[in-house]
Amino acid sequence: MVQKQIAVIGGGVIGVSTAYFLAAAGHQVVVIERRGNVAEEASFGDAGVMAPGYVTPWARPGMPKHLLAYLFKQETPLMLPRKMDPALWRWIRLWLSECELENFRTNMHRMQRLIAYSSDTLLQMERQLQLQDLPIDKKTQGYLQLFRTAQDVALAEPALAILAELDSAHRLLDTDAVRQLEPALASQTALAGGLYLPHSTTANCSLFTKQLKQIAMSMGVEFIFGSSVSTITQKNNQLALEIGETSFSADAIVLAAGAESARMLKNLGINTPLFSVKSFAATATVKDMDAVPIAALMDETYRVSITRMGNRIRLAGTAELASRSATVPEAARRTLRKIGIDWFPHAANYNNANFWCGLQATLPDGPPLIGATPIRNLFVNIGHGANGWAMAAGAGKLVADIVSEREPEIDLDGLTLARYGVRTFS
Ligand SMILES: Cc1cc2nc3c(=O)[nH]c(=O)nc-3n(C[C@H](O)[C@H](O)[C@H](O)COP(=O)(O)OP(=O)(O)OC[C@H]3O[C@@H](n4cnc5c(N)ncnc54)[C@H](O)[C@@H]3O)c2cc1C
């Protein structure tokens, strides 16, 4: 294998995982990150859910009707801007077409292929690298989706059919069984049932990224913080990065800049339907340990997860489209507070929660984009949406294999730019 000098743009969980596997393959790697440390954007507020059995695209049959029904309510899983620009309309049209059953099936199978590989890869890393304290809460057992109404159960049916085909360990539970599993669940909140995945868990995305940074540094990876890449240029077959007035050349570049990646690709004439979706987290201190959840949970109606993190509880989710501001709107605060109060009212005082928001780089169909681009030696690892933590280890290893011209260990069909008709350099 030829050793290359490789620049990775972005120090989130995706960039750091990629850098680690590139270094393990014998390359000289530098990670360029605009923040002061790794995992300071989407990878920071992550809820930590590792539910390989239940990673589903956001675009699915019945979802448009579901979201529309909540759009103008006080608490909502989705917020739209007052003024919709043409780019947003285009993205929504693409998203709607991906909600058709056959597209949903294809997208879910593609995501499941990557997620299964990623879970195995992470397990190997945990053993080999002796990563410390990754489980967010050692007492968390499984992943439980809560269905408030019969319509929520119906909305999950296409995904359940695929889980059955994949032979994934899961159980559809009635109301009593859900309450037995989660004794602290508030009894006054309407509940129609749940979906339980016993083998899923929670793990700490930001801690993983920081530990992997240290390991990568010990392998020779250089991290340059506080440096924002303005453009990627290509002159005489040589790639370079522009940071302020300075230009750095590299044999290869991996773009893993999360929500910023679309802009950099567009400057190079590569158009992707990558869109920034703002998502929120509320973290509150637990005041009664007997009143906390046992599993990691997801309120399917509002698309908000509930995870326990030691002596804290985190509510994460809801989406705001086309907003890049760092503010948490009142509707998001209300929604997250409601989820806490509805399900675990005695666990914490949600009025004192610490609210946070971050941008998820989201594609309308669901699977991320991994590997080659039309430009020689420029690679991407982008668009992991709401499942980037669960996909990071596998996606990082795949990209490192592609850059190293080694055969990837899983089929990449549907995980590359080729699915949008973009011809990539091979
Ligand atoms: C509230 C919330 C909850 C979530 N919960 C889960 C969950 O439970 N399970 C799960 O699997 N996933 C979850 N996700 C999704 C997951 O966190 C993301 O998919 C993942 O963190 C994406 O990682 P990333 O490295 O691509 O992006 P980021 O973490 O955003 O990293 C991108 C990095 O690139 C840097 N960058 C950008 N532009 C430049 C530039 N020009 N120059 C230099 N650096 C640049 C940024 O500063 C940033 O550090 C959640 C996301 C959010 C927001």
Domain map (residue ranges) of the chain: 5-43+207-269+366-420, 47-97+135-201+275-362
Q: 285 CA to middle of ligand 1, Å?
A: 24
Report how far residue 263's alpha carbon sits from residue 9's, in angstroms, rounded to the nearest whole number. Answer: 13
Residue 320 one-letter amino acid: E
Q: 1 CA to middle of ligand 1, Å?
A: 31
The answer to whether 14 and 396 have CB atoms below 8 angstroms apart is: yes
Beta strand spans in 89-213 (E): 143-147, 171-173, 193-197, 201-202
Tell me whether the CATH fold assigned to 5-43+207-269+366-420 matches the one assigned to 47-97+135-201+275-362.
no
The answer to whether 49 and 202 have CB atoms below 8 angstroms apart is: yes
Report how far residue 79's alpha carbon sits from residue 278's, in angstroms, rounded to the nearest whole number. Answer: 9
Provide the edge-to-edge strand list for the sheet that holds 231-235. 231-235, 238-243, 246-250
- pLDDT surpasses 90 at 138: no
Q: Which residue among 46, 115, 277 has the greatest number of ligand 1 atoms within 8 angstroms of its CB, and so is best to mutate? A: 46
Q: 237 CA to middle of ligand 1, Å?
A: 30
3-state secondary structure of 2: coil
Judged by phi (left if over 0) then psi (alpha if -120 to 50, else beta), residue 113 lies in: alpha
Q: 156 CA to middle of ligand 1, Å?
A: 26
Instruction: Name the residue with higher pLDDT: 280 or 169.
Output: 280
Q: Point out the ligand 1 atom lying closest to the alpha carbon of residue 13.
A: 25
390 lines ligand 1 (CB under 6 A): yes
Report how far residue 317's alpha carbon sits from residue 319's, in angstroms, rounded to the nearest whole number. Answer: 6
15 lines ligand 1 (CB under 6 A): yes
Q: Whose structure tokens read 């037995």?
A: 180
- pLDDT surpasses 80 at 1: no
Report how far residue 389's alpha carbon sits from residue 265's, in angstroms, rounded to the nearest whole number. Answer: 23
3-state secondary structure of 56: coil
Tens digits of per-residue pLDDT, 22-36?
Answer: 999 999 999 999 999
Beta bridge partners of 180: none
Lowest mean pLDDT among 12-26, 146-160, 214-228: 146-160
Report how far residue 8's alpha carbon sits from residue 223's, in angstroms, rounded to the nearest whole number. Answer: 9
17 lines ligand 1 (CB under 6 A): no
Tens digits of per-residue pLDDT, 358-393?
Answer: 999 999 999 999 999 999 999 999 999 999 999 999
Average pLDDT over residues 273-293: 96
Q: With 0-12 CB in 10 A as exposed, 13-18 as middle and 19+ as buried, what is 421? A: exposed
Provide the edge-to-edge strand list for the sheet that holds 28-32. 222-224, 28-32, 5-9, 252-255, 378-382, 369-372
Q: How wide is the angle at C-alpha 304 spanned by C-alphas 80 and 205, nearest 5°? A: 110
Q: 126 CA to middle of ligand 1, Å?
A: 21
The answer to whether 40 and 10 have CB atoms below 8 angstroms apart is: no
Beta strand spans in 78-170 (E): 78-79, 143-147
Q: Point out the ligand 1 atom lying closest to the alpha carbon of residue 256.
A: 26
Average pLDDT over residues 411-423: 95
Report how far residue 193's alpha carbon sits from residue 176's, in angstroms, rounded to the nearest whole number. Answer: 8
Q: Point out the ligand 1 atom lying closest to the alpha carbon of residue 44.
A: 29
- pLDDT surpasses 90 at 229: yes
Q: 173 CA to middle of ligand 1, Å?
A: 33
In this structure, the residue with its CA closest to atom 10 of ligand 1 is 387
Determine the longest span between alpha carbons in the chain, in angstroms. 67
395 lines ligand 1 (CB under 6 A): no
Average pLDDT over residues 235-248: 90
Q: Which pTM does this prediction carry? A: 0.97
Q: Point out the ligand 1 atom lying closest to the alpha carbon of residue 382.
A: 26
**pLDDT at residue number 256:** 98
Q: Which residue among 307, 384, 391, 399 has the greatest number of ligand 1 atoms within 8 angstroms of its CB, and so is best to mutate? A: 384
320 lines ligand 1 (CB under 6 A): no
12 lines ligand 1 (CB under 6 A): yes
Tens digits of per-residue pLDDT, 139-186?
Answer: 778 999 999 999 999 999 998 898 888 877 889 999 999 999 999 999
Report how far residue 340's alpha carbon sits from residue 140's, in angstroms, rounded to the nearest whole number. Answer: 17
- pLDDT surpasses 80 at 136: no
Is the Cα torsion angle 199, 205, 208, 212 positive or negative in sign? positive
Report how far residue 34's alpha carbon sits from residue 16's, in angstroms, rounded to the nearest whole number. Answer: 14
Q: 262 CA to middle of ligand 1, Å?
A: 14
Q: 13 CA to middle of ligand 1, Å?
A: 7
Q: 264 CA to middle of ligand 1, Å?
A: 16
Report how far residue 19's alpha carbon sits from residue 6's, in angstroms, rounded to the nearest whole number. Answer: 9
Q: With 0-12 CB in 10 A as exposed, 13-18 as middle and 19+ as buried, what is 65? A: exposed
Q: 43 CA to middle of ligand 1, Å?
A: 4
Q: Which residue among 37, 267, 389 has the greatest number of ligand 1 atoms within 8 angstroms of its CB, and so is best to mutate? A: 389
Fold that domain 47-97+135-201+275-362 belongs to in CATH: D-Amino Acid Oxidase; Chain A, domain 2 (3.30.9)
Beta bridge partners of 29: 6
Tens digits of per-residue pLDDT, 68-102?
Answer: 999 989 999 999 998 899 999 999 999 999 999 99
Name the superfamily (CATH) of residues 5-43+207-269+366-420: FAD/NAD(P)-binding domain (3.50.50.60)
